Amino acid sequence: MSNQRLPWIAPGDVNGFFGLVVDNLSILGFLATALIGIFGFPAEVIFTRMFPGTALGVLVGNLIYTKMARNLAARSGRSDVTAMPLGLDAPTTIGLALLVLGPAFVGFRQSGMDEHGAAIRTWQLGMAAMVAMGLLKLVLSFFGDAVTRAVPRAGLLGSIAGIALMLMGTLPLLVAMRVPLVGWITLGLLLYALIAKGPIPFRLPGVLFAFVVGITLYYGLGAGGLLGSGYHPPALPTLRPAFPWPTLAFLNGLDDLLRYLPLVLPFGLLMVVGGINVSESARAAGDDYRTRDILLTEALSTLVAGLCGGVAQTTPYIGQPAYKHMGARSGYTLLTGLFVGFGGILGVVAGMVEMLPLAVLAPIIIYVAIDISVQAFEATPRKHAPAVVLAFLPAIAYLLLIKLSNPTVVPPDQFSALLAERSHGISEMMLIVMLGNGFIITSMLWATMLVAMIDRQMRRAVGCLLVAAALTTFGVIHSVQPQGGIYLPWSLDPDQQWLVGQWVTAYVGFALVLGALSLLPAAGLASESMRSEEPGLK
């Protein structure tokens, strides 16, 4: 079958288009919700600087995937080939907003910058992060299988689930419940429709139904004065067309990016593994795309977005078989790319997002957080579930760090005094700082170590501990600097060197203990494991 005889739009492409567009618009809404609602970021910079480049990445990626699908159909002579869906990744987009962009903006403001200057510098940091992740994905696309062998699913999914549950779940919950009559009902309807699978009037999509009810409640009750100060009257959105020209402005964000690399680079790593998984999923559904081509496309579209002002990375979605079942072919990715891309450039997408109240958008983030956390357990072998839970713990420390480092919660002088307190070893505040800094990599290493112990791969567990010790030495994880900076250990003062030494010694010490235990007979270890599973011995 030639491309000329293959129709551009199949009947199922219309349904696929609406599904994929809603996903992308929701994530753009999440980005704006997090930055505006939680950190007070100026909307103008989001809509005119961040959105156009981000949308361009979606356009480029979907056009390439459309072409790949049509080429596969022509080669195979099949008319039922479904394109790989591409869009913005929810966990890393919100993670970047909550962990990097938002805190950086607050830090720039506290250093004396005016709001616009701090926003522009944060935008440049976001661009630099996209370029770094795009380059990482470009390199790793040639070594994807090695990545999946090195880090087990419990480490990859557990770390992202920690972000989801503690940050994507808790912080948006605080935003949604500022207007509980709207936020709680919207969240409840999402849980009813998407988790409990309850029937919806007129068979409307669950997300659309929750959105309609939430928006109706917000504007209806707000107009009647029943929501108090939580209500903001509607205003017609202002179209802000902005073409995402390529720029080297990301170079201005490289210095700021250095201390956020322990957070940023794992996001790129997760997307490479996700790309491998979705390629296998599409192959199982009958569409045999080359994994390297899928990965290279998402790397290219992320780079394009970053070089043109974008701050959210693109990724192939796991739902390719679902789009195939609804009859979508290659037209839905073409339509989505054109709508999101040109809508972002012309300001239409920003206008649509601007009309959605935070109390309605935030519950969607909470639902996504629940879904991601559940997936971490479902996609992980049952015996590795404790490793997933262990991966949550550093994220809790980072959540505490976000709140306690806020000057309106703990005054800066009191925060510094709590860091320096040494009456009972390392102070609690310093422990929160050290556990929170670099927590994504920490979560991966801890979970990988525990999986290795469960699987009786003691040398691998020892290797994880030694890697953790090395990364701690340079502040990649457990940085002693409140802002999470990377450093050379000999540049620290004696107190800071002592703190670093405590953690390095702990990791090396446990590595030595595990190394000694690995010399025990395997049968002895197995019998001990079996005894621990007997009732009453846990």
Q: What is the DSSP string of 85-104?
A: PEEE-HHHHHHHIIIIIHHH
Supply the DSSP symbol for 406: S
What residues in the chain have per-residue pLDDT under 50? 523-538
Residues 202 and 259 in one domain: yes
Residues 393 and 368 in one domain: no
Residues 334 and 433 in one domain: no
Q: 178 lies in a domain?
A: yes
How many whole angstroms separate alpha carbon 366 and alpha carbon 345? 29
* The predicted structure's pLDDT at residue 110: 87
Q: 4 lies in a domain?
A: no
Residues 298 and 385 in one domain: no
- Work out how many domains the chain is built from and give that number: 2
Residues 292 and 429 in one domain: no
SS3 for 151?
coil
Residues 488 and 342 in one domain: no
Residues 261 and 401 in one domain: no
Residues 162 and 198 in one domain: yes
For residue 86, list its beta bridge partners.
316
* The predicted structure's pLDDT at residue 72: 92
Question: Given the structure tokens 């199949």, which residue do they identify?
Answer: 10
* Token pair in block for residue 437: 């800094």
Handedness of CA 378, 382, 386, 390 (dihedral sign): negative
Query: Where does a domain end: 316, 339, 374?
Result: 374
Q: 3 lies in a domain?
A: no
Supply the DSSP symbol for 242: -
* The predicted structure's pLDDT at residue 116: 94
Q: 455 lies in a domain?
A: yes
Q: 211 lies in a domain?
A: yes
How many whole angstroms separate alpha carbon 133 and alpha carbon 123? 15
pTM above 0.75, yes or no: no
Burial 343-368 (b: 16+ CB within 10 A, else e): bbbbbbbbbebbebbbbbbbbbbbbb
Residues 50 and 24 in one domain: yes
Q: 538 lies in a domain?
A: no
Residues 162 and 130 in one domain: yes
- In contact, 341 and 166? CB cutoff 8 Å: no
Query: Where does a domain end: 317, 351, 374?
Result: 374
Residues 350 and 430 in one domain: no
Q: Which domain holds residue 330?
A: 11-237+246-374
Query: Where does a domain end: 325, 350, 374?
Result: 374
> Per residue in 92-127, pLDDT tens?
787 788 888 998 999 899 889 999 999 999 999 999
Measured CA angle at 168 (ends 360, 400), to 5 deg? 125
Handedness of CA 299, 304, 309, 312 (dihedral sign): negative
Q: 444 lies in a domain?
A: yes
- In contact, 132 and 431? CB cutoff 8 Å: no
* The predicted structure's pLDDT at residue 21: 83
> Per residue in 504-530, pLDDT tens?
999 999 999 999 988 887 644 444 444
How many whole angstroms separate alpha carbon 430 and alpha carbon 440? 18
How many whole angstroms separate alpha carbon 190 and alpha carbon 208? 10
Residues 388 and 369 in one domain: no
How many whole angstroms separate alpha carbon 295 and alpha carbon 88? 14
* Token pair in block for residue 243: 């073409």
* The predicted structure's pLDDT at residue 378: 82
Q: 279 lies in a domain?
A: yes
Helical H segments across 308-454, by residue range: 320-325, 331-346, 348-354, 358-378, 385-404, 412-420, 428-436, 439-454
